């Protein structure tokens, strides 16, 4: 892919503990200027931004049950309702992979199917299911992918960025081999520069999630901190 088009493959994230609305607003505006696909942040921030920003092609994306995914299905659905009614364009939902770790595949399947069907039937919007790949062995990853295939979200997201390691090329290759071709891969976790992003996209990821998303796009496009091409 052309480095000039990298923005359309990036979800810039702002999921830190210290949120200042003025700073977040400026980050969203920077995403707009750079043609970045999405801006991912907490539900509370999505609601505030939706009221004050001049919307552009950059989607507002809210996280659900971040970062551990251990809320009940009912709680996740309530957060989804809040996000979409507050102006979100898409949701990134953390699935409860602890169900898989405890041998509860049917409960995991029921959760992800319930999440995806609810979003599609009730809202008709985009949904990514986050699977913390770094804590799963090969067998459990296979179970996770099988469940995601049956649920049919828009994207399988590889990490919250809070796991023990980032996403690797090997992760993406393994997931792509098992995942339905109708479901995209969002690679996230530990991706901080242009080279890492391009490498994962070349391996089969469809989009990249990173708190360094703006910096990655500027680097790939050869834009300096002042906003001019280097």
pLDDT along the chain (230 residues), means of 10: 84 95 95 97 95 89 98 98 97 98 98 98 98 98 98 98 96 98 98 97 98 97 65
Domain boundary assignment for the chain? 3-221
The catalytic residue among 9, 76, 128, 157 is 157
Q: Which of 9, 128, 186, 218 is catalytic?
A: 186
Residue 76 designated active-site: no
Question: Would residue 195 show up in a list of annotated catalytic residues for this protein?
Answer: no
Backbone angles phi, psi at 144, to 5 degrees: -60, -45
Q: Among the options 11, 76, 89, 92, which is catalytic?
A: 92
The pTM score is 0.95
Residue 190 tokens, joined? 């530990």
Q: Residue 50's pLDDT is what? A: 87
* CA separation, residue 106 to residues 81, 99, 117 (Å): 25, 9, 16
Tokens encoding 122: 């009730």
Bridge partners, 61 (sequence order): 40, 90
Is 162 tagged catalytic?
no
| CA atoms of 31 and 10, how far apart (whole Å) | 9
In a 3-state reduction of DSSP, which class is residue 34? helix
Burial of 226 (0-12, 13-18, 19+ CB in 10 A): exposed
- 155 touches 184 (CB < 8 A): yes
Q: What are the tokens at 63?
A: 């996280």
Question: Of all helices (H) and strands (E), which one includes residue 61?
Answer: strand 59-64
Chain centroid offset of residue 153 CA? 12
- Provide the pLDDT for residue 52: 84
Domain 3-221, CATH class in plain words? alpha beta
Amino acid 41: pLDDT? 98
């Amino acid at each position: 892919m052309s480095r000039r088009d990298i923005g359309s493959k990036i979800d810039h994230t702002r999921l830190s503990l210290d949120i200042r609305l003025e700073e977040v607003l400026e980050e969203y505006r920077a995403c707009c200027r750079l043609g970045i696909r999405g801006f991912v942040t907490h539900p509370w921030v999505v609601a505030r931004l939706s009221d004050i920003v001049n919307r552009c092609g950059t989607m507002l994306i809210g996280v659900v049950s971040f970062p551990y995914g251990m809320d009940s299905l009912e709680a996740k659905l309530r957060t989804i309702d809040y996000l979409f009614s507050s102006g979100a364009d898409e949701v990134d939902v953390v699935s409860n992979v602890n169900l898989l770790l405890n041998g509860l595949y049917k409960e995991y399947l029921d959760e992800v199917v319930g999440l995806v069907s609810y979003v599609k039937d009730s809202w008709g919007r985009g949904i990514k299911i986050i699977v913390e790949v770094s804590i799963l062995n090969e067998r459990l990853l296979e179970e996770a992918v099988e469940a995601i295939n049956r649920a049919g979200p828009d994207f399988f997201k590889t990490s919250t960025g809070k796991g023990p390691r980032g996403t690797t090329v090997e992760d993406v290759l393994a997931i792509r081999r098992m995942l339905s071709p109708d479901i995209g891969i969002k690679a996230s976790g530990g991706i901080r520069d242009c080279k890492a992003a391009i490498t994962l996209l070349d391996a089969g990821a469809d989009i990249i999630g990173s708190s360094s998303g703006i910096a990655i796009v500027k680097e790939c496009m050869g834009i300096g901190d002042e906003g001019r091409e280097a």
